[in-house]
């Protein structure tokens, strides 16, 4: 009888250990996927001067996994079911949701999504236009905060939020919350007496007005602004429409576009110049430049400039100086000289 009792105890212990062996790893796995080890951050994708009515306000959203396990969440095709932006004024008044957000969340529809797996030590990012989430109707200083719903936004979470009300976003278990981001919205763009929109100087907050500079002064102003990364000044004397449609293909496309389509083309061209993705672009920063020759008549002209650029040898990483001769074509319109075209000749190195 003793031996039978001992054998029974061994069986019971084995069963208990087996059960514990199953339960313990499950608990450990749950702890490893704790959202507290996941960072959720927002930043401006392409910081610029933002106006009440103007270009999109692109916000880059980044989820970083600092836990030892894979972090998984659902990302809806319509991002309004995964993401929320809480935007308030300095007086703590919350901005109303955008009409498009209210419409998407209140209409009857299936919500399609995909599951995103962020491995340990990795990040996942995407970009959203803030104007698709909130109505930016007035100038002023704003504070932006974002929320990510890993299990998607549910209308039952918050009746007011689901109906597009002005209450704070619904926060549930597992919701990721970002830090605050400061946003400054300026009044609508002011148009000068010649119909040209007036730019704003970021450093001084003063209005930039095109002055009646000579052609060589216009080119010098543009190059000096690029050296200082002052984009608002760099674009001040560039006729982007003329530069964009300088070849036949783009000109035909420009003529076929609507007014809204042409604005999109201008904005895309502006972004390409800022990111230096065009060959021979004038937005590459010169280390030094000197104006060699200026020729013009009563309505058009050209300015030739010798520009120097620092580069590195791909083989030995040694630095050298590239020499290029830029010829800028300028045109007089409304008593203002603007740059309408350019060409580049490579002169070798020194």
User: What CATH number has the domain bearing residue 141?
Assistant: 2.60.40.2360
Residues 241 and 337 reside in one and the same domain: yes
Closest CA to 36 of 170, 180, 173, 152: 173
- 339 assigned to some structural domain: yes
Question: Is residue 193, in this structure, part of any structural domain at all?
Answer: no
Torsion 91-94-99-101 (CA) sign: positive
Nearest by Cα to 110 from 151, 133, 76: 76
Q: How far apart are CA 142 and CA 133, in angstroms?
A: 14
**pLDDT tens per residue across span 135-184:** 988 888 999 999 999 988 876 444 334 334 445 565 566 889 999 999 98
Spatial strand order of the sheet with 319-333 comes to 288-296, 300-312, 319-333, 336-349
Residues 215 and 320 both lie in one domain: yes
Last residue of a domain, one of 141, 161, 186: 186
- 8: CB partners within 8 A, 6+ apart: none
In a domain, 171, yes or no: yes
Residues 42 and 102 in one domain: yes
Which residue carries 């061209």 as its tokens? 269
Which structural domain, as residue segments, surrounds residue 170?
Answer: 35-186
Residues 318 and 273 grouped into a single domain: yes
- CB atoms < 10 A from the CB of 69, how many? 16
Q: Are residues 156 and 209 in the same domain?
A: no
Q: How far apart, in whole angstroms, are the C-alpha atoms of residue 47 and residue 202?
A: 11
Residues 166 and 39 reside in one and the same domain? yes
Q: What is the mean pLDDT of each run of 10 residues along the chain (350 residues)?
A: 44 37 33 66 85 83 92 91 92 90 84 91 92 89 93 60 47 81 79 49 61 92 88 85 78 79 81 67 84 92 92 75 91 88 87
Strand residues in 130-221 grouped as ranges (E): 140-148, 176-177, 181-186, 199-200, 207-208
Alpha helices (H) along 139-210: 159-162
Measure the CA–CA gap between 270 and 247, rounded to whole angstroms.
17
CA dist list (Å): 280 to 101, 262, 284, 310? 41, 23, 8, 15
Query: Between vectors from CA 185 to CA 184 and to CA 191, what angle results, nearest 5°?
Result: 135
All residues at 6 or more sequence positions from 73 whose CB lies less than 8 Å from its CB, including other chains: 63, 82, 115, 116, 118, 148, 150, 151
Asked whether residue 178 falls in the same domain as residue 256, the answer is no
Same domain for 178 and 205?
no
CATH number at residue 316: 3.10.450.50
Do 102 and 232 fall within a single domain? no
- The confidence score (pLDDT) of residue 200 equals 53
Provide the whole-model pTM.
Answer: 0.47
Structure tokens at 18: 């087996």
Residues 72 and 106 in one domain: yes
Residues 60 and 171 in one domain: yes
Half-sphere exposure of 204 (CA within 13 A, CB side): 9
In a shared domain, residues 219 and 314: yes
Give the largest Cα separation in the chain, rounded. Answer: 120
When divided into structural domains, the chain yields a total of 2
């Amino acid at each position: 009888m003793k031996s039978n009792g001992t054998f029974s105890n061994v069986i019971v212990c084995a069963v208990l250990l087996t059960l514990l062996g199953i339960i313990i790893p499950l608990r450990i796995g749950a702890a490893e996927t704790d959202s507290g080890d996941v960072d959720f951050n927002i930043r401006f994708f392409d910081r610029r001067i933002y106006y009440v009515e103007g270009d999109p306000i692109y916000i880059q959203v980044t989820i970083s996994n600092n836990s030892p396990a894979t972090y998984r969440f659902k990302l809806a095709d319509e991002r309004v079911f995964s993401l929320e932006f809480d935007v308030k004024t300095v007086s703590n008044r919350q901005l109303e949701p955008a009409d498009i957000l209210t419409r998407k969340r209140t209409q009857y529809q299936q919500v399609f999504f995909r599951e995103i797996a962020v491995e340990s030590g990795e990040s996942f990012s995407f970009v959203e236009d803030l104007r698709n989430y909130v109505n930016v109707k007035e100038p002023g200083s704003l504070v932006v905060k974002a929320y990510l719903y890993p299990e998607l936004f549910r209308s039952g979470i918050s009746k007011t939020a689901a109906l597009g009300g002005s209450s704070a976003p619904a926060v549930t278990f597992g919701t990721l919350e970002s830090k605050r981001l400061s946003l400054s919205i300026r009044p609508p763009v002011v148009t000068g007496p010649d119909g040209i929109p007036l730019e704003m100087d970021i450093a001084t907050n003063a209005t930039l007005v095109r002055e009646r500079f000579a052609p060589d002064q216009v080119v010098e102003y543009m190059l000096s602004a690029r050296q200082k990364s002052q984009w608002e000044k760099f674009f001040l004397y560039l006729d982007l429409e003329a530069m964009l449609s300088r070849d036949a293909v783009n000109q035909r496309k420009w003529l076929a576009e609507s007014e809204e389509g042409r604005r999109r083309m201008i904005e895309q061209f502006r972004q390409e110049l800022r990111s230096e993705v065009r060959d021979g672009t004038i937005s590459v920063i010169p280390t030094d430049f000197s104006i060699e020759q200026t020729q013009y008549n009563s309505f058009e002209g050209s300015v030739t400039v010798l520009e120097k650029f620092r580069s590195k040898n791909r083989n030995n990483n040694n630095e050298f100086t590239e020499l290029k001769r830029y010829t800028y074509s300028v045109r007089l319109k409304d008593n203002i000289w603007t740059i309408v075209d350019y060409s580049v000749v490579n002169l070798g190195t020194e």
